[in-house]
């Protein structure tokens, strides 16, 4: 099987793991985690090296300090812990599917995860282990988008794959504007000029400066991840 991208960083939002039960949202839906794990397994079996960064918004989202009384830095650390919980959930799903994994955390918590060490992460990838990066960058005021961009550059990933609920970047929000059209390819500068929110600006600028392509695609369509890695015309490429 021919793969266009050999080493990838998959960026998932925490909200992607949420499920609905009796009209109430559950933070973690095991059926979604299981489906994602199977998609990742197929890509690993095809020969790709996979790293993953997951957000924490399904458990805790940094909120307005004036409303919560929780200062921003404190809230961001709470969000980092939420990403580790999500990382553990995905790790369990992957290992149940027969995929070897390592969870690395930017904040030391030895009983749960390895500390983030760049060279060790790259060695795990070479051994075909899926490496899940938890706790963001380990610093407040940075999003998990930024953590994903930073880790992708550090491990020399070929591409960032941003798995979302929509099948690419549109001229407007496709959930609100039925006339919105999808871009197949778009440049970094066009995204900035048109204020298309692919990632936050810190993450986006990191990718642009390091010429790291971003592919935004629908992660909820089974098989899409493999098609993207093979180089098929799925989603939108920002380069």
Instruction: Tell me the pLDDT tens digit for each residue of 86-107.
Output: 999 999 999 999 999 999 999 9
DSSP string, 92-160: HHHHHTT--EEEEESS--TTT-EEP-HHHHHHHHHTTPEEEEESTTSSTT--HHHHHHHHHHHTT-SEE
pLDDT band for 45, please (50, 70, 90 cuts).
very high
Asked whether residue 22 carries a pLDDT value surpassing 80, the answer given is no
- Please state whether beta strands 214-218 and 236-238 pair in parallel, antiparallel, or not at all (unpaired): antiparallel
Q: How many domains does the chain have?
A: 1
Beta bridge partners of 134: 105
Residue-level pLDDT at 63: 67
Residue-level pLDDT at 19: 86
Distance CA 180, CA 13 (A): 23
Q: What is the CATH number of the domain that holds 116?
A: 3.40.1160.10
Give which of 47, 1, 10, 5 is closest to 219, Cα–Cα: 10
Distance CA 151, CA 145 (A): 10
Q: Is residue 203 domain-resident?
A: yes
Q: Is residue 2 domain-resident?
A: no
Distance CA 16, CA 220 (A): 9
Q: Is residue 25 domain-resident?
A: yes
pLDDT band for 212, please (50, 70, 90 cuts).
very high
pLDDT-above-90 percentage for the chain:
83
Domain hosting residue 208, numbered range: 7-238
Asked whether residue 66 carries a pLDDT value surpassing 80, the answer given is no
Task: Give me the sheet containing 49-54, strands edge to edge.
Answer: 114-115, 101-105, 130-134, 49-54, 7-12, 159-164, 214-218, 236-238, 185-186
Entry pTM: 0.95
Q: Is residue 97 domain-resident?
A: yes
Structure tokens at 125: 């990838």
Q: Is residue 33 domain-resident?
A: yes
Q: Is residue 1 domain-resident?
A: no
Q: Give the model confidence (pLDDT) of 128-145 as tens digits.
A: 999 999 999 999 999 999
Beta bridge partners of 52: 10, 132
Asked whether residue 233 carries a pLDDT value surpassing 70, the answer given is yes
């Amino acid at each position: 099987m021919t793969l266009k991208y050999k080493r990838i960083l998959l960026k998932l939002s925490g909200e992607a793991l949420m499920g609905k039960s009796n009209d109430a949202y559950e933070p973690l839906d095991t059926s979604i985690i299981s489906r994602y794990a199977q998609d990742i397994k197929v890509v690993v079996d095809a020969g790709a090296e996979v790293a993953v960064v997951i957000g924490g918004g399904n458990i805790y989202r940094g909120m307005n300090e004036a409303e919560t009384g929780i200062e921003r830095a404190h809230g961001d650390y709470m969000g980092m812990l939420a990403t580790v919980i999500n990382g553990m959930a995905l790790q369990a799903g992957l290992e149940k599917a027969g995929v070897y994994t390592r969870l690395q955390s930017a904040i030391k918590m030895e009983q749960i995860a390895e500390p983030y060490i760049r060279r060790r992460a790259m060695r795990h990838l070479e051994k075909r282990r899926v490496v899940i990066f938890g706790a963001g960058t380990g610093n407040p005021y940075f999003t998990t988008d930024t953590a994903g961009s930073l880790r992708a550059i550090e491990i020399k990933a070929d591409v960032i794959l941003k798995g979302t609920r929509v099948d690419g970047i549109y001229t407007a929000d496709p959930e609100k504007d039925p006339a919105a059209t999808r871009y197949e390819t778009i440049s970094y500068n066009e995204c900035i000029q048109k204020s298309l929110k692919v990632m936050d600006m810190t993450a986006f600028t990191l990718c642009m400066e390091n010429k790291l392509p971003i592919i935004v695609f629908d992660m909820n369509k089974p098989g899409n991840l493999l098609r993207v890695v093979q180089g098929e015309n799925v989603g939108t490429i920002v380069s």
